[in-house]
Amino acid sequence: MTALWLLAACLPDLGPRSVAAHAGRCGDCHPAHAQQLAASAHREPASSELFVALRDHAAASGLAPALCERCHLPEGLTCGTCHAAATHHRPFNGELVHDWTGPVRGPSSTSRAPHASVADPFVTSSALCGTCHDVTGLAGFEERPYEHWLRSPAAADGVRCQDCHMPDHQMPGWRADPQALLRTALTLQRVPEGVALTNHAGHHLPDGASSLRELWVEARGAQLQRWELHAELRTGGQPTWDPVQADEVVLRGIEAGATRTFALPVGTTEVCVCAREVNLDVSAALGLPQAEAWDVACLLW
């Protein structure tokens, strides 16, 4: 596989048929794909209120914004970010290797395009996504969905990131379409011990930047009980909201394909899985508005 990528990376400069010669005009001929990219969080990965506040906070503590911008590209992901990606140096921390003088890399080769095109197994692999969706060695900014996917039942069955996250080339998520993706992720069921939550995602539930978000199970009724599923950051063993200070990321989510059971307090009338796009401790610390919580799934008791 590596030899094939190296070979592909060494194709001669294709001049007017290269990616570079068409860059910036992809959307003229592929308007639907351009529209889908524009509707996703990939269009502006460096402009959410939360990102800007956290990047500035990190910079004030000595973490250069350039570290973040390897993945949170200030100009946004372009078509070429993925379709000119020939390989990666390492499968994490945004280390993609691009070949702009070569052909457009896609699922298949076609001679009907004005640009050269090749079928490229890297572009259609989870490794493409994993190169940015695996952050390691950057304090509490740690995110390992690709690493978790590699060990998941989905990976064993050959189900890639693209199969779940790119129906029709769209990439919805917590930011672009909060409810849609999460609802497909889980089932909540009655069991003799209480309630069982099963994770159908191809990695932990939740995954990605989960310490910045909230996902929890809540029993409502005579008393309110809450079980957190998002990651907790710690420094010196104590919880902290701050990814810059954190020396430990404690995952509390459910592993891919696994089920967790919750025993409910007496007098429970309803059980819900709830989510919030921005963790309240994080928004309070950074002076951002409080994000609303929503019920992803509920069972009446």
Count Cα atoms within 13 angstroms, Cβ side, for 143: 24
Is residue 195 a contact residue for ligand HEC (CB under 6 A)? Answer: no
> Which residues, 6+ apart, have CB-to-CB distance to 300 below 8 Å?
269, 270
Is residue 217 a contact residue for ligand HEC (CB under 6 A)? Answer: no
Q: Which is nearer to ligand HEC, 219 or 251 (CB)?
A: 251
Is residue 181 a contact residue for ligand HEC (CB under 6 A)? Answer: yes
Contacting residue, 8, 154, 246, 273, with ligand HEC by CB under 6 A: 154
Cβ atoms 252, 231 nearer than 8 A: yes
Contacting residue, 122, 140, 174, 197, with ligand HEC by CB under 6 A: 174
Which residue is listed with tokens 């799934």?
297
Q: Quick one: how far is CA 111 from the chain centroid? A: 33
Name the CA radius of gyration of the chain, rounded.
21
Q: How far apart are CA 298 and CA 23, in angstroms?
A: 46
Contacting residue, 42, 144, 220, 230, with ligand HEC by CB under 6 A: 42
Query: Which parts of 21-40 interact with ligand HEC (CB under 6 A)?
Result: 22-23, 25-30, 33-34, 37
Please give the size of the binding site for ligand HEC, defined by CB under 6 A: 90
Considering only the stretches 52-60, 216-224, 257-265, 287-295, report the one whose residues sit in contact with ligand HEC under the rule CB under 6 A.
52-60
Is residue 273 a contact residue for ligand HEC (CB under 6 A)? Answer: no
Q: Which is nearer to ligand HEC, 46 or 221 (CB)?
A: 46
Contacting residue, 54, 219, 254, 271, with ligand HEC by CB under 6 A: 54
Is residue 258 a contact residue for ligand HEC (CB under 6 A)? Answer: no
Q: How far apart are CA 99 and CA 120, in angstroms?
A: 12
CB count in 10 Å sphere of residue 15: 10
Cβ atoms 220, 272 nearer than 8 A: yes
Q: Please, what is the minimum distance in Å from the beta carbon of residue 223 to ligand HEC?
A: 28
Q: How far apart are CA 113 and CA 58, in angstroms?
A: 44
Is residue 230 a contact residue for ligand HEC (CB under 6 A)? Answer: no
> Which residues, 6+ apart, have CB-to-CB distance to 107 below 8 Å?
119, 123, 124
Is residue 206 a contact residue for ligand HEC (CB under 6 A)? Answer: yes
Q: How far apart are CA 187 and CA 173, in angstroms?
A: 18
Contacting residue, 146, 197, 264, 271, with ligand HEC by CB under 6 A: 146
Is residue 205 a contact residue for ligand HEC (CB under 6 A)? Answer: yes
Is residue 145 a contact residue for ligand HEC (CB under 6 A)? Answer: yes
Q: Which is nearer to ligand HEC, 49 or 193 (CB)?
A: 49
